[in-house]
Structure 1
Amino acid sequence: MLPPLTDLIALLGIDLVLCAGCLRGLNGRSGVTRVSGPAKWITAMVFVVLWFPLGADHLPILAYVRGISSDLSVTLVALAALDLSRRFFGLRAVGQQEWRTLSGVVACAALVLYPLALGWGDWDAYRAGWGTPGMWLALLTIALFCWAKGLRLLPVLVALALLAWSAGLLESTNLWDYLMDPWLATAALFQCIRWGVVQWLARSKRPASGPVPSSP
């Protein structure tokens, strides 16, 4: 007997994210647009093995991973699928500005959402995810602004999350759980900090411009 569709989709999402991480670990991060044959086969084997049943309940290995990771957001799964497609089929990499914008928006949202959801304020931002006009307006504004600036990644991810939420593809009925999760938020915060450190180091290495000495 097959599990519910929401469980299958959640397990498939976890599998894709783990396979993307495996492939990234096998081939590194810098400039890889298409991976070698052995790495592809290893990743394909990992994808299949994670569905093998384990334990007295004969649950797939992914079910135990899900107990630790919880359901992953549509955004993270879509990014994993994009990375797998790029490395398997040699698709063009996403530009750095796209990644910086996405990481910045996710990091800012995480800094607002999670502290408030933990009760650090009088307003619970998580409630907006149940379907409030204010949140839809905010998402539409951000998506249109990015699209006008020539940035396509974030609007597409928002659209995918909204479609999945409308179809009820995950167990959660809160839009926030489709847009982001703690794993994605942690990665976005790390990337923002890393880029900030790189920029600071680059500026600190620049020679200070002093006054030009006058000719005698």
Structure 2
Amino acid sequence: MEQAIRWICYSRPTRSYFGLKDIGQAILVKRAVADLLLDCEIRFVPTVRYKNGVPISSRLRRFNRSELDELSCLFTALNRSREEIARGASSVKDLVASATSRIEFRQFRLEFVRIVDADNFKDLEQVKLPFLIIGAAMAHGLTVSDSIYVPDQDTLLNGYHRREPWRSGCSPIPRMPPIAQGRPDISIVKMRDALSALIGVEAEGTPAEAYCRRVVPHGLLWLYREIAGTEARARKK
């Protein structure tokens, strides 16, 4: 969170977008921006998910399709709790017990299911807006968490996933290479200009300069990987 606030202070964006996958950090950043009177609007965007509802994360590359299919029951149980609350359920103890009973893991171990106050992250006894429904599971030494943020009545009734339809089954992690969907000629020219400008940037200068020195080379490596990957896929075809 500290790095996010520093970057907002230095770059002075009018808007900054945070995914709901790490909603705890997003809420804290929004609160800090308000407390520091920073002229920046913090917006939340829905979690990007596989078709079966599992939130997309780089760490999930370690799991196979069968494990991802099994993990989908975590989100299904959390979302079912939201639906029960929308129908009038309010006892957190009963809701957590109901959600836990729906989660049937063979390859994962359920860590917890909680319903907490979205303002202070304390466990609730009776549901009240705004709140978070949080769950976590572990396998291969990795903890995979998921959450549903319910800030208002509309989200309670409809859920964020209405903007991210999903069905059973997993698809590979979606990628958006500029080679396939953008303008590679423009991307390469802009990367060239960025590398030329990078010569005059001090690695130990301001945080913004240090950030550029780290990000631009990574961007070049990413572009190379995308180009090489596209060529490799073309040769296979």
TM-score band (shorter)?
Answer: 0.3 to 0.5
Larger strand proportion, structure 1 or 2? 2
Q: TM-score, normalised by structure 1?
A: 0.33
Larger helix proportion, structure 1 or 2? 1
Q: TM-score, normalised by structure 2?
A: 0.31
- Give the number of the structure with larger relative contact order, counting CA–CA contacts within 8 Å between residues 6 or more apart: 1
